[in-house]
Amino acid sequence: MDDLEHDADSAGEGRKHDPASARPFLERPLGIVTLIAGVVGIVTGVVTLWFTLSNANGEPQNAGGQSGEVAEFEGVVGHLAESRAILSFLDQHDGEAVYLDVGFPSITGAATDENLLVESVDTADGNQSQEIREISLMTDCGNSDANQNPNPSVHDGCSGVSLRIAQPQHRDAQTFFEHGVPRVKGYFRVDVTGGLYQGLSPIGLTPLTFDEVNAE
C-alpha cells in the first residue's frame, strides 16, 4: 500500500510546481498571452522573410530605383496655384537630397521664353545637347491681367521662384525636352536661398549621382 501511495505521489510530482496546469485552458492568462505573442512573432517573421526575398530577387523598393530614404516629387507643374505643391516640397527639404520627375507644360521651351534659360553643351559622342539651366515659376501676379496668362513672367509685373539647375548633369540627374515640354528628372540637392532678385527668389538644384545619394 505504501508503494502504491509512493507511486501516486511520484506521478504527481510534475504538477506540484505548476498548479495552473490543472486549470482549464482559458483560465490560464499567462498561457494565452504567451500563445498570442508566439503567433504574432511567427506572422511577423514570415512577412519579413517575404520582403527580404523580394528585394533579393531585384525588386526595387520604389519605382525608378530611388532610395527609400529619399523624398520624391513627381507630376506636372505650372505657375501660380500650380506651383505651390513643388515649391512647398522643396522648401520642406531644404539642404536634402530629393528625387524629382517633373514636367513644365506651361513653359513653351522656345528660345524667346522668358521663364526658361537653356544652354548647349557638348556630349561625350561629340554632339550637342540642350540642357536647362533655369526655370522660373510665377507665384503672384497681383490683380493684373497676367493672371489669365498661362505663361506669365516678371515683365508682366509678376514675382516668383527661379529653379536653377547646376552642372554637371548626368543620367542620374538631367534636364531635357519631351515633345517640347521642359522636364527635370533625377536626384538633386535642394538649396533654398531665400533671397530675392528682380522679382525672383532662387532655389538651387545640384545634380547628384545615385551613389552619392546612397553614401549619405
Q: Report the distance separating Cα 151 and Cα 5, nearest Å.
A: 101
* Full residue range of the structural domain in which residue 30 is found: 2-56
Same domain, 52 and 76: no
Q: Supply the pTM of this predicted model.
A: 0.67
One digit per residue, pLDDT tens: the chain, 216 residues?
Answer: 444 444 444 444 433 344 444 444 344 444 544 444 443 344 333 333 333 333 333 223 333 444 458 999 999 999 999 999 999 999 999 999 999 999 999 998 887 899 999 988 876 777 777 899 999 999 999 999 999 999 999 999 999 999 999 999 999 999 999 999 999 999 999 999 888 888 999 999 999 999 999 988
Q: Identify any residues that bridge with 202 across adjacent strands, giving them in sequence order.
A: 162
From 32, 56, 80, the end of a domain falls on 56
- Pull the grid cell for residue 54: 523580394
Question: 165 and 122, same structural domain?
Answer: yes
Residue 46 contacts by C-beta under 8 Å, 6 or more apart in sequence? none
What torsion, rounded to 10 degrees, do the Cα atoms 146, 135, 98, 213 define?
A: 180
In a domain, 29, yes or no: yes
Could you tell me if 50 and 78 lie in one domain? no
Cell of 174: 538631367
Residue in 192, 200, 195, 202 with CA at minimum distance from that of residue 98: 192
For residues 100 and 106, give the distance between their C-alpha atoms in angstroms, rounded to a whole number: 18
Are residues 169 and 110 part of one domain? yes
> What does the block give as the cell for 59?
525588386
Decide if 62 is inside a domain: no
Distance of alpha carbon 164 from the chain centroid: 21
106 with 153, same domain?
yes
Q: Calculate the CA 178 to chain-centre distance.
A: 23
Neighbouring CB atoms inside 10 A of 34's CB total: 11
